[in-house]
Amino acid sequence: MNNTEYLEPDLAFVARLKRAGGESVKKCFQCATCVAVCDVTQSDRPFPRKEMIWAQWGLKEKLFYNPDVWLCHQCGDCSTHCPRGAKPSDVLAAVRNLSFIEYAVPGFLGKMHSSPAALVALFALPAAVLLLAAIYANGLVMPEGEIVYSRFFPLAVIDSIFIPAALFALITSILSLKKLWSGMKRNSPGKGDPDAAAVFGAVKDILLHKKFAQCRTNRPRYTGHLLIFFGFLALFATTNLVMMYHYLLGRETPLALGDPVKLLGNAGALAAFAGVSYIIARRLAAPDETGKTSYQDWTFILTLYAAIITGILAESARLADIPAAAYPVYFTHLVFVFFLIAYLPFSKFAHMLYRTAAMIYAGSNGKNN
Amino acid sequence: MATPAPKNPVVVIGGGIAGITAAVEAAECGANVILLEKRAHLGGRVARMHKYFPKLCAPYCGLELNFRRIRENPAIAVHTRAEVAEIKGQYGDFTVKVRLQPQMVNANCTACGKCAEVCPVERQDHYNYGMGTTKAIYMPHPMAFPQRYNISQKACIGKECGKCVQVCEYGAINLDARETVLELKAHSIVVATGWDPYNGAKLQGLSFGVSPNVISNVMMERLASPEGPAKGKLVRPSDGKEVRDVVFAQCAGSRDENHLPYCSSVCCLASLKQAAYVREAAPDAKIFIYYIDIRTPGKYERFYRKIAAEPNVTLIKGKIAKAEHDPETGGVIITAEDVLAGKKITRKTDLLVIATGMQPAAQNGVGGLKADENGFFTNAALARGIYAAGTARLPQDVSSSIMDATAAALKAVYGGRP
- Cβ–Cβ gap B257/A83 under 8 Å: yes
What is the pLDDT tens value at each position of chain B, 418 positions in all?
446 678 899 999 999 999 999 999 999 999 999 999 999 999 999 999 999 999 999 998 899 999 999 999 999 999 999 999 999 999 999 999 999 999 999 999 999 999 999 999 999 999 999 999 999 999 988 889 999 999 999 999 999 999 999 999 999 999 999 999 999 999 999 999 999 999 999 998 999 999 999 999 999 999 999 989 888 899 999 999 999 999 999 999 999 999 999 999 999 999 999 999 999 999 999 999 999 999 999 999 999 999 999 999 999 999 999 999 999 999 999 999 999 999 999 999 999 999 999 999 999 999 999 999 999 999 888 999 999 999 999 999 999 999 999 999 999 999 876 6
User: Cα(B124)–Cα(A346) distance, rounded to whole angstroms?
Assistant: 64
Is there a single domain that holds both residue A188 and residue A170? yes
Nearest CA-CA distance, residue A306 and chain B, Å: 39
pLDDT at A151: 87
How does DSSP assign A287-308, residue by residue? HHHH----HHHHHHHHHHHHHH
- Tell me the average pLDDT of chain A: 93
- Same-domain status, A164 and A52: no
CATH for A115: 1.20.950
DSSP H helix total and E strand total for chain A: 19, 0
Beta bridge partners of B317: B291
Q: E strands, B318-398, where?
A: 322-325, 332-338, 343-349, 351-356, 358-360, 386-388
d(CA A20, nearest CA chain B) in Å: 24
> Are B337 and A29 within 8 A, CB to CB?
no
Residues paired with B36 in a beta bridge:
B13, B79
| One domain, residues A144 and A70 | no
Chain A nearest-CA residue for B205: A37
In this complex, the residue of A44, A49, A83 whose CB is nearest that of residue B256 is A83
Q: Do B336 and A85 touch (CB under 8 A)?
A: no
Residue of chain B with shortest Cα separation from A48: B337
Counting one residue from chain A and one from chain B, the pairs whose CB atoms sit within 8 A come to 66
Residue A5 lies in a domain: no
Domain ranges of chain B: 10-100+181-194+361-414, 114-167, 199-357
DSSP letter for each residue of A47-69: TTHHHHHHHHHT-HHHHHT-THH
Residue numbers in B near A32 (CB within 8 A): 292, 317-319, 321, 336-337, 339
From the CA of B326, how many Å to the nearest CA of chain A?
Answer: 17
Same-domain pairing of A62 and A48: yes
* Among the partner residues A43, A50, A81, nearest to B321 by beta-carbon distance: A81
Decide if A143 is inside a domain: yes
| A2 within domain boundaries | no
For residue B203, CA distances in Å to B208, B247, B348 come to 8, 17, 20
Q: Are residues A264 and A332 in the same domain?
A: yes
Q: Rounded distance, CA B308 to CA B306, Å?
A: 6
Domain containing residue A62: CATH number: 1.10.1060.10
Residues A84 and A219 in one domain: no
Find the helix or strand (DSSP H, E) in which B245 lies.
strand B245-252
Separation of CA A245 from chain center: 29
Domain B199-357 is of which CATH architecture? Answer: 3-Layer(bba) Sandwich (3.50)
From residue B372, give the alpha-carbon distance in Å to each of A294, B366, B381. 37, 12, 8
Other CB atoms within a 10 A radius of the CB of residue B227 amount to 16
Co-location of A167 and A311 in the same domain: yes
pTM for this predicted structure: 0.93
Torsion B190-B193-B195-B201 (CA) sign: negative
Which residue in A has a C-alpha nearest to residue B342's C-alpha?
Answer: A45
Evaluate if residue A368 carries a pLDDT over 80.
no
Q: Which of A71, A103, A135 is the last residue of a domain?
A: A103
**C-beta atoms of A81 and B339 within 8 A:** no
Q: How far apart are CA A81 and CA B204, in angstroms?
A: 9
The pLDDT value given to residue A5: 81
> Whole-angstrom Cα distance, residue A28 to residue A113?
29
Q: What percent of chain A has pLDDT over 90?
A: 85
Q: Which residue, among A35, A44, A71, would best test binding to B if mutated, counting the most B CBs under 10 Å from its CB?
A: A35
User: How does DSSP assign B101-145, residue by residue?
Assistant: PP--B-TT-----HHHHH---EEE-GGGTTSSEEESEE-SSTT-S
CA distance B181 to B159: 23
H or E, element range at B215:
strand B214-216
Homologous superfamily of the B10-100+181-194+361-414 domain (CATH): FAD/NAD(P)-binding domain (3.50.50.60)
By C-alpha distance, the chain B residue nearest A42 is: B344
* Contact criterion met (CB < 8 Å) for A46 and B251: no
The mean predicted confidence, pLDDT, of chain B is 95
* A75-115 pLDDT per residue, tens: 999 999 999 999 999 999 999 999 999 999 999 999 999 99
Question: Does residue A196 share a domain with residue A302?
Answer: yes
- Judgement on whether residues A281 and A154 belong to the same structural domain of the protein: yes
Quote the CA–CA distance of B61 and A285 in Å, as a whole number.
Answer: 59
Mutant choice from A31, A40, A51 vs B, greatest count of B C-beta within 10 A: A31
Question: Which of A103, A121, A143 is the last residue in one of the domains?
Answer: A103
Domain boundaries, position A29 = 11-103
Q: Do B344 and A30 touch (CB under 8 A)?
A: no
- Backbone conformation region of residue A103, classed left if phi is above 0, alpha if psi is from -120 to 50, else beta: alpha
A11 pLDDT band (50/70/90 cuts)?
Answer: very high
Beta strand B122-124 with B133-135 is: antiparallel
**Length of chain A measured in residues:** 369
Are A68 and A51 a contacting pair, CB within 8 Å?
yes
Sign of the CA dihedral A133, A138, A142, A144?
negative
Per this entry, what is the length of chain B? 418
Q: To the nearest whole angstrom, how far is the Cα of A30 from the nearest Cα of chain B?
A: 7
CA of A123 to nearest chain B CA: how many angstroms apart?
A: 44
Give the relative orientation of helices A323-342 and A119-138 as an angle to the nearest 10 degrees: 130
Peptide bond into A48 cis (omega under 30): yes
Provide the pLDDT for residue B1. Answer: 47
| Residues in B touching A41 (Cβ below 8 Å) | 344
User: Is A331 in the same domain as A346?
Assistant: yes
| 3-class secondary-structure state, position B12 | strand
Asked if residue A1 has pLDDT above 60, the reply is no
**Which residues in B lie closer than 8 A to residue A31 (C-beta atoms)?**
251, 255, 292, 318-319
Please name the helix (run of DSSP H) or strand (run of DSSP E) that holds residue B191, with its range, or none.
strand B188-191
Taking contacts as CB-CB distances below 8 angstroms, the residues of chain B near A37 are: 205, 321-322
Among residues A70, A103, A136, which one ends one of the domains?
A103
Looking at residue A253, its pLDDT comes to: 84
The pLDDT value recorded for residue B418 is 62
- Give A105-142 pLDDT, tens digit per residue: 999 999 999 999 999 999 999 999 999 999 998 888 88
The whole-angstrom distance between B370's CA and the closest CA on chain A is 26
Is the peptide bond preceding residue A345 cis, with omega within 30 degrees of 0?
Answer: no
A327 and A342 co-located in one domain: yes
Q: What is the DSSP letter of A33?
A: H
A333/A338 Cα distance (integer angstroms): 9
pLDDT in tens, A34-67: 999 999 999 999 999 999 999 999 999 999 999 9
Q: Say if residue A205 is in the same domain as residue A313.
A: yes
Q: Which residues of B touch A (CB under 8 A)?
A: 204-205, 251, 255-259, 292, 317-322, 335-337, 339, 342-345
pLDDT tens, residue by residue, A253-292: 889 999 999 999 999 999 999 999 999 999 999 999 999 9
Q: Nearest-CA residue of chain A relative to B334?
A: A36
**Do B321 and B314 contact (CB within 8 A), yes or no?**
no
CA B207 to chain centre: 23
The kind and range of the H/E element at A256 are none
Answer for the pair A276, A308: CB distance below 8 angstroms, yes or no. Answer: yes
**Number of compact structural domains in chain A:** 2
Using an 8 Å CB-CB cutoff, list chain B residues near A42: 344
Q: What is the pLDDT of residue A112?
A: 96
Query: Could you read off the pLDDT of B213-249 as tens digits, one per residue?
Result: 999 999 999 999 998 988 889 999 999 999 999 999 9
| A31, A43, A83: residue with CB nearest B344 | A43
Q: Do B255 and A83 touch (CB under 8 A)?
A: yes
| Residue in chain B lying closest to A80 (CA) | B258
Burial-class residue A237 by CB neighbours within 10 Å (0-12, 13-18, 19+): middle
With an 8 Å Cβ cutoff, the interface of chain A facing chain B consists of: 29-33, 35-37, 41-46, 49-50, 81, 83-85
Give the model's pLDDT for residue A367.
55
Q: What is the pLDDT of residue B73?
A: 97
Q: Which residue has the higher pLDDT, A192 or A357?
A: A357
CA distance A320 to A195: 52
Find out whether B284 and B388 touch, Cβ atoms under 8 Å: no
Judge whether A369 lies within some domain: no
* Chain B nearest CA to A209, separation (Å): 23
Tell me the Cα Rg of chain B: 22
Q: Which of B375, B360, B343, B20 is nearest to B195 (CA)?
A: B360
The helix/strand count (H/E) of chain B reads as 8, 22
Q: Please, are residues B325 and B211 in contact by the beta-carbon 8 Å criterion?
A: yes
Are the Cβ atoms of A46 and B319 closer than 8 angstroms? no
Q: Output the pLDDT for position B6.
A: 87
How does pLDDT run across A203-261, given as a tens digit for each residue? Answer: 999 999 999 999 999 999 999 999 999 999 999 999 999 989 988 988 888 899 999 99
Query: What order of strands is seen across the sheet that includes strand B343-349?
Result: B322-325, B332-338, B343-349
Is A184 in contact with A71 (CB distance < 8 Å)?
A: no
Cβ distance B318 to A37 less than 8 Å, yes or no, reads: no
